Amino acid sequence: MKALTKDKRKKGEGMIRERKPGVWEARIIFNGNVKSFYGKTEREAAKKLKDYKTKIILGASDQKKISYENFLENWLERKKLQLKPQSFSRLDSTIRNHIIDSKSGIGFYDLDKIDAEIIQNLIDIKSKKISFSSTKKIYDALNESMRFARSSGRIAQNPVDLVVLPTQGSRIYKKKNSDVNNLEIFTEDEIKRFVEVVNIKYQNSSPVFNNGRIFLLMLNTGLRVGEVGALKWTDFDGVNHTIKVNKTIIKDKDENGKTIFIEQDSAKTKGSERVLKLNANALKSIPDTRKGDYIYCSKSGKLLLPGNIQHMLDRVLIKAKISHKSTHVFRHTYASRLFEKGVDVKVVSELLGHSSVQTTYNTYITLIKSQKAKAMEAIEDLY
C-alpha cells in the first residue's frame, strides 16, 4: 500500500505520514541524516518529532550527557590556547574556586540540566561574599562557557541570558565597596620612616636590605609587583631617564600541575604597556651595578619572585615599626599623592597602566571624591 503523506511541510520541518494502519512515521533530515520516529497515532509521532526538534534544531545535541565540570575542563583546554598565561590563570582560578567548587559550585549538574535559576542562585550567593569585580568574573565565565555550549550544540539556549548580575551600586555591595575603598596608603610619617630603613647600611657600606631600592621605585612609579620584578636593564634609558614597562612576572603551572613563575612578554593589559619618566627619587632607586639581565635580582642574578619581594617588605615594615601591608601599598600611595596634587584621573589611569579610566575611578573613588570635596571648599573660600 502506498504510504500517505498527511501534510506537506517546509524544508527542515520534517514530515509525518501513515506507513500502515496503526503506524505513523515522523521524519526529518538533520545534518544530511534521516531521522525517523514512530507512533501508533499521528499525535504520538508528531510529539516525538517535536521533542527531537526542540533538542536538535534549537541547538541542543543528542550527544552523551556530560557534567558541567567535565565540560568546563574541556573548555579550559581550548581557552588555554587562546589566552595569555596570566589571563588563563585568572579564568582557571575563577572556575575552580567558584563554579566547580565542591562546596558551593554547580559543576556536579549535568550541563543540559543547568537553568537560569541555578545560575542566578550561584551569583546571588557569591555576590554576598565577594566583591563586584570577582562576581562579574564568575558571571563572565559562566556566560562565555554557556555561549560555547550552545554554539557547539550541547544546549538549546544560554541560561545566563536570563540571569541578572547585581550592579556595582547595588545595596549588596555597599558595605564591601566601603571596605575596598579603605585602601592601604602610607602616611607622610610612615613614608619617611620606611625610606630611612630601606637606606640603612652596614659599616662596610653594603645595604642591610639587598634590593630594598625596589620599593623606592614602586613608591615613585606605582608599578605592580610583577611589573617591577620583570624590569630588565634594556628597559631602562639612563639618558632620557625613562623606564619601559612591557612585561610582567606571572604565576602559572607546568605540565605536572606544579606552580611556576614565568615572564609574560606583554603586560597585564594593552594599557599596561607604557614608558614612564623617572623623577629624582626614582632614579636613585636604580642599582649602581648590574648582576644580571634583570634590574632587581638575587645575588646570583636570578629572578626576584613576588613572594620574595613581599617577604622583604615584611622585614622592612617590622624594622620601621609600620603595620603589615601588601605590595599594593606603593601603588595606592602613588595614586593618592597624584590625586592630592590635582592630577586628572585620566592621566593617573595612564600612569598606572589601567585598562580604562573607569577602572581607576572605581578603585580610587573615595580619594577622588575627597579631592572634589576639597576643591569645592576652596571655591567657597573665594567668595
Residue with cell 613581599: 310
pLDDT of res. 171: 61
Quote the CA–CA distance of 41 and 26 in Å, as a whole number: 11
- When the candidates are 3.30.70.2470, 1.10.443.10, 3.40.640.10, 3.40.190.10, the CATH number that belongs to 188-377 is 1.10.443.10
Quote the CA–CA distance of 28 and 12 in Å, as a whole number: 7
The whole-model pTM stands at 0.60
pLDDT of res. 48: 86
User: Are the C-beta atoms of 320 and 190 separated by less than 8 Å?
Assistant: yes
pLDDT of res. 225: 93
C-alpha cell at 210: 639587598
Yes or no: domain 68-180 corresponds to CATH 1.10.150.130: yes
| DSSP per-residue string spanning 256-291 | TS-EEEEEESS-SSGGG-EEEE--HHHHHTS-SS--
pLDDT of res. 378: 55
Distance of CA 218 to the CA centre of its chain: 23
pLDDT of res. 361: 85
Residues of the chain with CATH 1.10.443.10: 188-377
Q: CA neighbours within 13 Å on the CB side: how many for 100?
A: 19
C-alpha cell at 309: 619581594
Q: Is 146 helix (H, G, I), strand (E, B) or coil?
A: helix
Q: CA neighbours within 13 Å on the CB side: how many for 192?
A: 3
Quote the CA–CA distance of 152 and 78 in Å, as a whole number: 13
pLDDT of res. 230: 93
pLDDT of res. 56: 56
Residue ranges for the chain with pLDDT beneath 70: 1-13, 30-33, 54-64, 102, 169-182, 266-271, 372-383
Residues of the chain with CATH 1.10.150.130: 68-180
pLDDT of res. 4: 42
pLDDT of res. 349: 93
Q: CA neighbours within 13 Å on the CB side: how many for 246?
A: 10
pLDDT of res. 29: 73
pLDDT of res. 27: 87
